């Protein structure tokens, strides 16, 4: 009887084993995040990142205006979202502060125009345009220089310029439209993100921006010069792989 008891006390119950495994997995994950990395981002270091960037305009437009009719009720212009390759280069001013320059391949946006059906027009496809919004930001990193996981907050400026703009066949046919133009804009941006150190100078990065990009879109038509003021105010997301540069 005593032998049986001793055997039973040494057998782990299945439920207890699963709890221990879950606890150990959580403990190891936390240890991976907060254990010092074998390398560090320190004062004087350059950090290069390359990855995917998604530009998602939260378009809000004033009504389209014409010389003869003024503002056309609930009309407006919008931009769709687009993803491209993005890259950045950061310089560590100290162990906590950095300055970063960002850019991407040109984003391509389809332009929509709404509310013209109330005036007997069928046009809803305005055209398309490309834009780039290179930026410069100041970043503050939390944690120590050799932390494996380093979140950061930042703020800065982006300069948006539009090019390769073209009007759709629909708007050119119905409105005799031509000469689409979108104004350049200097925007303020705020951002947050993190670097996760992999070792040997490599790291993963994820980041999100909010930009207050505005532009005035205009084109000639049989009604005269049509224009509207549009707030793009995009959310921009990026996921990238980075490496320390030694110059």
DSSP 225: E
Chain-centroid distance, C-alpha 59:
15
31: confidence class by pLDDT, cuts 50, 70, 90: very low
Q: How far apart are CA 93 and CA 3, in angstroms?
A: 69
Q: pLDDT tens, 177-218?
A: 899 999 999 999 999 999 999 999 999 999 999 999 999 999
Beta strands (DSSP E) in the chain are 46-56, 60-61, 65-66, 70-71, 76-79, 82-92, 97-104, 107-114, 125-132, 135-141, 149-167, 178-182, 185-199, 202-211, 214-221, 224-231, 235-245
What percent of the chain is predicted at pLDDT more than 90? Answer: 60
Q: pLDDT tens, 94-141?
A: 999 999 999 999 999 999 988 887 777 888 889 999 999 999 999 999
> Looking at per-residue confidence, does 111 or 13 come out higher?
111
Can you tell me whether residue 4 is helix, strand or coil? Answer: helix
Burial of residue 150, with CB atoms counted within 10 A of its CB: 0-12 exposed, 13-18 middle, 19 or more buried: buried
Report if residue 109 sits inside a domain.
yes
5: confidence class by pLDDT, cuts 50, 70, 90: very low
65: confidence class by pLDDT, cuts 50, 70, 90: confident
**Summary mean pLDDT of the chain:** 85
Q: Per the structure, how many domains does the chain have?
A: 1
Report if residue 30 sits inside a domain.
no
pTM of the model: 0.79
What's the chain's length in residues?
Answer: 247
233, pLDDT greater than 80: yes
Residue pair 41/195 in contact (Cβ under 8 Å)? The answer is: yes
What pLDDT, on a 0 to 100 scale, did the predictor assign at position 57? Answer: 95
Q: How far apart are CA 65 and CA 223, in angstroms?
A: 10
What pLDDT, on a 0 to 100 scale, did the predictor assign at position 25? Answer: 55
Sign of the Cα pseudo-torsion (156, 41, 105, 76, in order):
negative
Report if residue 225 sits inside a domain.
yes
28: confidence class by pLDDT, cuts 50, 70, 90: very low
Residue pair 87/102 in contact (Cβ under 8 Å)? The answer is: yes
2, pLDDT greater than 70: no
Report if residue 55 sits inside a domain.
yes
Report if residue 5 sits inside a domain.
no
Report if residue 141 sits inside a domain.
yes
20: confidence class by pLDDT, cuts 50, 70, 90: low
Which range of residues forms the domain containing residue 123?
35-245
Residue pair 49/87 in contact (Cβ under 8 Å)? The answer is: yes
26: confidence class by pLDDT, cuts 50, 70, 90: low
Report if residue 10 sits inside a domain.
no
Report if residue 13 sits inside a domain.
no
147, pLDDT greater than 50: yes
Supply the CATH number for residue 58's domain. Answer: 2.40.160.20
């Amino acid at each position: 009887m005593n032998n049986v008891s001793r055997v039973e006390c040494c057998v782990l119950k299945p439920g207890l084993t699963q709890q221990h495994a879950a606890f150990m997995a959580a403990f190891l994950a936390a240890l991976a995040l907060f254990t010092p990395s074998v390398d560090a981002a320190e004062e004087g270091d350059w950090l290069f990142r390359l990855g995917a960037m998604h530009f998602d305009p939260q378009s809000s437009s004033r009504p389209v205006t014409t010389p003869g009719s003024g503002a056309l009720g609930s009309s407006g212009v919008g931009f769709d979202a687009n993803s491209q390759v993005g890259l950045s280069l950061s310089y560590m001013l100290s162990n906590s502060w950095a300055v970063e320059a960002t850019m991407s391949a040109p984003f391509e946006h389809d332009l929509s125009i709404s509310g013209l059906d109330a005036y007997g027009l069928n046009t809803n496809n305005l055209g398309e345009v490309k834009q780039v919004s290179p930026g410069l930001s100041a970043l503050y990193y939390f944690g120590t220089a050799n932390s494996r996981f380093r979140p950061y907050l930042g703020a800065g400026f982006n300069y948006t310029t539009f090019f390769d703009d073209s009007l759709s066949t629909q708007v050119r046919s119905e409105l005799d439209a031509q000469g689409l133009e979108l104004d350049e804009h200097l925007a303020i941006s705020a951002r947050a993100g993190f670097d996760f150190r992999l070792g040997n100078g490599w790291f993963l990065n994820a980041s999100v921006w909010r930009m207050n990009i505005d532009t005035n879109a205009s084109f000639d038509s049989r009604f005269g010069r049509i224009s509207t003021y549009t707030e793009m105010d995009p959310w921009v997301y990026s996921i990238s792989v980075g490496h320390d540069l030694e110059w």
